[in-house]
A and B are shown apart, each in its own frame.
Chain A
Amino acid sequence: MLSRNRTEADAGMKMMIVDDSNIIRRKIERSTELDGVRIIGKASNGVEAVHLFEKTHPDLVTMDITMPEMDGIECVERLVDLKPDVLILVVSALSDKSTAIEALKKGANGFLCKPFTDKQLNQALAELIRGE
C-alpha cells in the first residue's frame, strides 16, 4: 500500500463512506471498529461524495469504483486535489490488477476487494492509517 505520514491527527479521524449500495455503506459503517475513527458521512456516487467532502473534510474515505454519476477512479482524483493527504481505501469488486494500479496512481492508498469480511475491512483500514 502507498502511505502518507499520519501522526497525532490519527487520534480523531473523520471517515466518509462512498458506495452506490446502501447495504455496503451500512455494512462498512457497522463493521468499522477502529479507535478514534468516526463516520461523518456517506455518499452514493462520486458527485455526492465530492460535495460531502467539501463540507465535512474527512481524513479517511472508503471508495467504491463502479458507481453512477461519477465513478470512484475520477472521484479519488478529485478528492486528492481537494486534500492531498486524505487517506483513501478503494473497496471494489473490480479485482483485476490494472484497476487497483490505476486507483493507486490517482492517489488512493489501498485496495480491498469485495466481498470482504469485517476482519479484512478493519485490517485494511488499520494498515492504511499506520501507513503500511
Chain B
Amino acid sequence: MDEAQLQVFIDGTIHYFTQASDEPADVGTPYLIGEEQTVADEYTGIIGISGKRRGTVYFTAGPGLLKVLLMSLGETDLSHEFLCDLVGEVANTISGNARRSFGSDFMISVPLVVKGQPERIHSPNNLRSFVVPINWRSHQAALVITIE
C-alpha cells in the first residue's frame, strides 16, 4: 500500500468524524507495526477485505470515545450493545467509503466486533499493518489497515 492509498483512509476517517459530530478528528502520523503486533483498545470493529485486494481494516476505540460519539449521533442508549454496533459501523463506513478510490472490486465484509484485546488479527501473507492514530475530543482511537 502506498502513501496515496493510505491517504484515502486518513481522509475517510476525518470525513467520518466531521459528518458524525461536526468536530473533525485529529489524525496523527501513521506508523507501521510488525506482523505479530496488534493495536487494540476495548472495542474493535474488523472489516475483511476481499476481491482484487485482500486484508483487513479495523477501527479500535475505548468506551469513552464511543459513548461521546453515540451522543453526537443523538443516541441516548450508551449500552455495551450500542458500543459494539458503533465500532463496527465506523469500520464499515470508512472501509466502504474507500471504494470511491479503490473501486467496486474492493469488497468489504459485514463487521466483526471484538470486545477486549484480541491476541492477533489475522491477515493474509503476514502483511505489516499501518496504524493511523486518531485523537478526537481528548479521546484516542486507531484505524489499522493491512492490505495487499
The closest CB in chain A to the CB of B104 belongs to: A98
Main SS of chain B's interface residues?
Answer: helix
A96/B15 in contact, CB under 8 A: no
- Which single member of A23, A66, A93, A114 contacts B85 (CB below 8 Å)? A23
Interface size on A, residues (CB 8 A): 24
What is the CB-to-nearest-CB distance from B85 to chain A, in angstroms, rounded to a whole number?
Answer: 5
- What total of chain B residues lie within 8 Å of the partner, measured CB to CB? 30
Q: Which single member of A31, A68, A98, A115 contacts B16 (CB below 8 Å)?
A: A115
Q: Which residues of A contact B16 (CB under 8 A)?
A: 115
B19 adjacent to A115 (CB under 8 Å):
yes
* Inter-chain contact A115/B99, CB cutoff 8 Å: no
How far apart sit A21 and B106, CA to CA, in the bound complex (Å)? 21
Complex Cα–Cα for A95 and B102 (A): 10
Query: B110 touching A116 by the CB < 8 A rule?
Result: no
Interface residues of B in 28-63 (CB under 8 A from A): none
A72 CB, min distance to chain B CBs, angstroms: 12
Q: Find the B residue at minimum CB distance from A71.
A: B110
Does A51 count as interface, using CB distance less than 8 angstroms? no
> Of B15, B88, B100, B106, which contacts A115 at CB under 8 A?
B15
Contact B19 A99 (CB under 8 A): no
- Flag if B19 contacts A66 (CB, 8 Å): no
Cα distance, A113 to B92, chains bound together (Å): 12
Q: Which B residues lie within 8 Å of A20 (CB)?
A: 110
Once the chains bind, are B88 and A114 in contact (CB under 8 Å)? no
Contacts of A31 in B (CB 8 A): 74
In the complex, what's the smallest C-beta–C-beta distance from A17 to chain B, in angstroms?
15
Contact: A26 with B75, CB < 8 Å?
A: yes
What are 10 A-B contacts with C-beta separation under 8 Å? A23-B75, A23-B82, A66-B96, A67-B110, A93-B97, A95-B100, A96-B102, A96-B104, A98-B103, A114-B96
Extra 12 A-B pairs, beta carbons < 8 Å, given A21-B92, A92-B96, A114-B93 = A21-B88, A22-B81, A23-B82, A24-B89, A66-B108, A67-B110, A93-B92, A95-B97, A96-B100, A96-B103, A99-B104, A115-B19
- Nearest 5 interchain pairs by C-beta: A93-B96, A115-B19, A96-B99, A93-B93, A95-B100
